[in-house]
Amino acid sequence: MENILTIIIEQDEGIFLGNYADVAIFSCNDTMLATKAYGFRTKEDAKKYVRKHLKHMKKTVEYLDVLCLHREHYVTAVDLIKAGHQDVATDLFLNMPTLPVLQ
């Protein structure tokens, strides 16, 4: 069940997570503590989205293809880390719930 998805990364705002009420949400300003980002089926789909909805950012975004082992339309922090992209996964990873240490 391998699935390659493309995510959008803006150099100052971080990973594009999705949108809510027509507002683009990025990992740097995420108040919902997201642990996954919207993944586009193709790089061209991601580029079309940027051209239509994030015109002001089209010169500052990068597109990253991520191999996922599920069929969802989302890329998780774990997917990014497994694919070797821990450098961009920090914001998502820090939002993951942790278990308390028992002594």
Confidence of residue 103 (pLDDT cuts 50, 70, 90): low
Residue at 64: amino acid letter = L
Total Cβ atoms within 10 A of residue 35: 19
Structure confidence at residue 2 as a pLDDT band (50, 70, 90): confident
Residue 6 CB-half CA count within 13 A: 15
Tokens of 13: 């705002």
Angle at the Cα of 7 from the Cα atoms of 46 and 24, rounded to 5 degrees = 75
pLDDT, tens digit (0-9, with 9 covering 90-100), for 44-80: 999 999 999 999 998 999 999 999 988 899 998 888 8
- pLDDT for res 23: 87
Domain assignments of the chain as residue spans, ordered by start = 3-94
According to the model, what pLDDT value does residue 9 have? 94
pLDDT for 63: 97
